Amino acid sequence: MQNAALDLSDGRNFAQGFPHEFFTWLRANEPLYWHPPTPVTPDGEGFWVFSRYADVDAVIMDPNAYSSDRGGTRTAGGTTIKDEQSAGRVMNQADGLLHRRLRAIVNEGFTVKAIAGLEDELRTRTRRLLEGLEIGDRLDFAHRVAREIPTQAICIVLGVPETDRLMLVDWIDHGIEAPSEAVIAEEYSRKIRRYAQGLILSKRASPQDDIFSTIVHARFEADGSTLSDHELRSFFGLLFPAGAETTTRSISGGMLALVERPAAWRALRAQPGLLKTAIEEIVRWTTPSCYKRRTATRDLRHADKLIREGDKVTFWEMSANRDERIFEQPFEFQPGRNPNRHLGFGAGVHFCLGSVLARLELRVVFEELLASPLNFALDGVPVWMPNNRLVGLKSLPLRVIA
């Protein structure tokens, strides 16, 4: 290895943003790289790092060979570098029939029509946020705008009453921001589970006009089963990191890209039709869900490497989305990029359940920003989350300018 090897399991190596330089080197020199063991690979083994688009795509598209739950004989499973307790129980960490059943049931709630029904409320909320801003104001955009809309969107999907939202989001923050303080995180996740259970019982007894009520009552066509309380609680818990944290990071990362490129901002204002491709470019550019892991279910040959049964294979969508073999000038942010076959929402059977909602949120937020008379400039140094799993900004200090 020519380049100083980075420990990719250590969030601190992402504290200045995604380590693009290292991945550019990997794509060119060691596209199928065997990463040595780290303190978070408890079986003392290393893991593969796939960085080129074609290799990433090949793994995502072959769930029989590469399991999201577990595979082989030696390792526990899940989709992160470290093993997950929830493997085999949550939709994104399930394979085969179990995954098909969970996905088919929740799909009933996530219809395009159901998602379109959220637009008015999200737009009203976005307008209200922007109307509160005046020239000269300073704000942390990541917190005040980027975070608010996706969190509200998930609460609306789940039918969380308005009066409970602040409390719930506070518990979720504690659960996410105190990962090293396991006792505190556990206390908050217990509160969240208890809250979810109460909500499930109430939606079961009297369904309301929200997507979660549809999901609580939806049946799997093949055997008529509904989701169990445990499955519903897991789904409830999954949507905050999978749905709110990801979209938050795309909105703030997209805003940073535009604030740094006033010409792109002006082009979007002059040509609103450009927003459609710009949204895909924002997802490619930010790729908040930057890697996944699978486990090989059998011995496989991939290019010139032997992947053994039980080997952990991580694949890096962020790196695939910067692959020079697929994207022209991948390190340029081009609002009009077309085609743009990015892997920001994954692909195959686990393709993002919330992509329609995420695209709607991005469209509403940027349409409203561009339609408002406000302009923005950087007002300090953006700070990245020291997190390798969800890449994005912790804070984005902006100033409102004329």
Where do contacts with ligand HEM occur on this chain (CB under 6 A)? 60, 68, 79, 91-92, 103, 157, 238-239, 242-243, 246-247, 250, 283, 288-289, 292, 317, 344-346, 350, 352-354, 357-358
Where are the alpha helices (H) located in 67-210, listed in sequence order? 96-107, 112-116, 119-131, 141, 148-157, 162-177, 182-205
Provide, rounded to whole angstroms, the least separation between the CB of residue 252 and ligand HEM.
11
Q: Are 369 and 109 spatial neighbours (Cβ–Cβ below 8 Å)?
A: no
Residues whose CB is less than 8 angstroms from the CB of residue 149 and which lie 6 or more positions away in sequence, other chains included = 122, 125, 126, 129, 247, 251, 361, 364, 365
* Neighbouring C-beta atoms of residue 189, cutoff 10 Å: 16
Provide, rounded to whole angstroms, the least separation between the CB of residue 354 and ligand HEM.
2
Provide, rounded to whole angstroms, the least separation between the CB of residue 246 and ligand HEM.
4
Nearer to ligand HEM, 9 or 314 (CB): 314
Which residues sit opposite 383 in a β-bridge? 395
Provide, rounded to whole angstroms, the least separation between the CB of residue 200 and ligand HEM.
17
Nearer to ligand HEM, 41 or 247 (CB): 247
Nearer to ligand HEM, 25 or 47 (CB): 47
Nearer to ligand HEM, 296 or 400 (CB): 296
Helix (H, G, I), strand (E, B) or coil at 50: strand
Provide, rounded to whole angstroms, the least separation between the CB of residue 99 and ligand HEM.
6
Give whole-number Cα distances, 49 to 61, 66, 142, 200, 323, in Å.
Answer: 17, 14, 30, 39, 15
Nearer to ligand HEM, 25 or 210 (CB): 210
Helix (H, G, I), strand (E, B) or coil at 393: strand
Q: Are 361 and 385 spatial neighbours (Cβ–Cβ below 8 Å)?
A: no
Rounded distance, CA 93 to CA 13, Å?
Answer: 25
Nearer to ligand HEM, 140 or 317 (CB): 317
Provide, rounded to whole angstroms, the least separation between the CB of residue 294 and ligand HEM.
8
Helix (H, G, I), strand (E, B) or coil at 139: strand
